[in-house]
Chains A and B, each alone.
Chain A
């Protein structure tokens, strides 16, 4: 019996302590907090920015969440977060302030074993709506094309549909993977695969194709020649207050921009 009382009172004490130290009464008042939510394509970069920003401004807490572009925009409209992240342009009924923080190219990738170096936008479109089903039709061996797309609702897929498919549908028979990483994994292991991923994560395990005779690279995107490019946007409801302004100015500053460029993105001013 004694043991029971002891353990119960111990539990109670621990619970009480936990209540006392909850962050809402603890240190939130001293620190300024900013919450970002939205596109999972932007999320890793936003986290990098937040890390660097918090080192320089220890009085800030920056919280980065995912959820997808649409969810991020929705959250800003409801004022549940201060900054939404969107990897697609806003629709007309979404009347919010936007800040373009950088640009990201979408590259069409194939396996390094694939000898094809270039396709036209029309050929890519035909592959993804399955008018072209065989590599033979693109002057390679007689083997079915294993095309990979992203899942419905993804910002990358949204931009791909807008910039490459141009209103045509991506065929239902095409494989679907749920992140840039898994699309890259499929393309890296399957010699007959083709997919599209963010230019920032292309490495030597996959080969980025030349589209309409333009090599996807930071230079060609800057010059406007490579067309499959989407903006990364911060979305705000109304005018930013001083705290938000500090963070956004940091992102647009030389330092913030160089962090983004180091990750393979294209700066907002280029």
Chain B
């Protein structure tokens, strides 16, 4: 029958198109990798891995390419964001999964998803207008600081933390909770002793993915962090992250300066790859178990 042949062909055709599109995203990832490494690695060869990663001086037009202060600053900001975002996000996820009624959930979930959709430049703008002056007037320092950047980034990573830990908490079987209640435990005891420990790997993964988001954030950080090249000695000092370094200087960079920015990108890529690997590992371990 010709019709079924046609239909079969159509099926195959559509499947082929979908597969090729699905693979194309992988292809782009591959291209990005190749491109960054091709541009970034020659400088490692020329200057030396140690001088770049552990160098303290960044003056690319004068031949110094040390990005150690920026690596340290990136981690400071990321952990600062986690300190702000993790308790908030986890409490929100616990409320959503354990306490809130259906109506509240219907309202809160879309609202949180909206939070994820706000462009980072808007967060940065809010930070410059509100948080930076408050920090400057109340606590001192220039206001463009580790603290301001951590607060804004902490808010920015909330959606990631909430949605993934919410899924993890919801994934805890109902029988666990029922068993706990049957033993006479209160609701809070059940949550604290049973539900959170059972969901711990998913919650951990949400923190790590939040870190990945924070370390990769650029626009908001450039606007609020002050971008000074020193390792900050207090939470009120300005600092520059790896992403900030690339975005700040790319417009003017030529020659080795440009290569230096790509090397910064290589370091950033490696750090994010490691974070994602850890996050995936902690989720997978649970599935296997």
Contacts and interface: CB of A to CB of B under 8 A. Distances in A.
Interface of A: 1, 40, 66-71, 74, 144, 146, 151-155, 169, 172-178, 182, 185-186, 189-190, 192-193
B227 A177 contact: yes
A74 B222 CA distance: 28
B208 to A, nearest CB: 30
A1 B10 contact: yes
B211 to A, nearest CB: 25
Contacts of A176: 226-229, 240, 248
Contacts of A185: 128
Contact of A192 (B128, B142, B229): B142
B243 to A, nearest CB: 13
30 contacts: A1-B6, A40-B252, A67-B252, A68-B254, A71-B254, A74-B254, A144-B140, A144-B142, A146-B142, A146-B143, A146-B144, A151-B227, A151-B248, A151-B249, A152-B61, A153-B61, A153-B251, A153-B257, A172-B228, A173-B229, A173-B238, A175-B144, A175-B227, A175-B228, A176-B228, A176-B248, A178-B222, A178-B251, A189-B133, A192-B142
| A interface majority secondary structure | mixed
Contact of B251 (A66, A173, A192, A193): A66
Nearest to A191: B136
B141 interface: yes
A190 B251 contact: no
Interface of B: 6, 10, 57-61, 69, 128, 132-133, 136, 140-144, 222-223, 226-230, 237-238, 240, 247-249, 251-254, 257
B76 to A, nearest CB: 15
Contacts of A66: 251
Nearest to A39: B252
Contacts of B69: 172
Given A172-B229, A175-B226, A190 B142 contact: yes
Nearest to A71: B254
A234 B93 CA distance: 60
B61 A193 contact: no
Nearest to B7: A1
A153 B253 contact: yes
A189 B133 CA distance: 8
A209 B253 CA distance: 30
A70 B133 CA distance: 36
A151 to B, nearest CB: 5
A154 B229 contact: no
B12 to A, nearest CB: 14
A152 B59 contact: yes
Contacts of B230: 172-173
Contact of A174 (B59, B228, B257): B228
Contacts of B61: 152-153
Given A152-B60, A176-B228, A70 B143 contact: no
Given A153-B257, A175-B227, 13 more contacts: A1-B10, A67-B251, A68-B251, A146-B142, A151-B248, A152-B257, A153-B249, A153-B252, A172-B57, A175-B238, A189-B133, A190-B143, A192-B142
A68 B142 contact: no
Nearest to B57: A172
Contacts of A151: 227, 248-249, 252
A137 to B, nearest CB: 17
A189 B148 CA distance: 15
A186 B230 CA distance: 19
A65 to B, nearest CB: 11
Report which residue of B6, B222, B240, B251 has the largest number of chain A beta carbons within 10 angstroms of its beta carbon: B251
Contacts of B227: 151, 175-178
Contacts of B248: 151, 176, 178
B173 to A, nearest CB: 47
Nearest to B142: A146
Contacts of A40: 251-252
Given A151-B248, A185-B128, A175 B142 contact: yes
B58 to A, nearest CB: 8
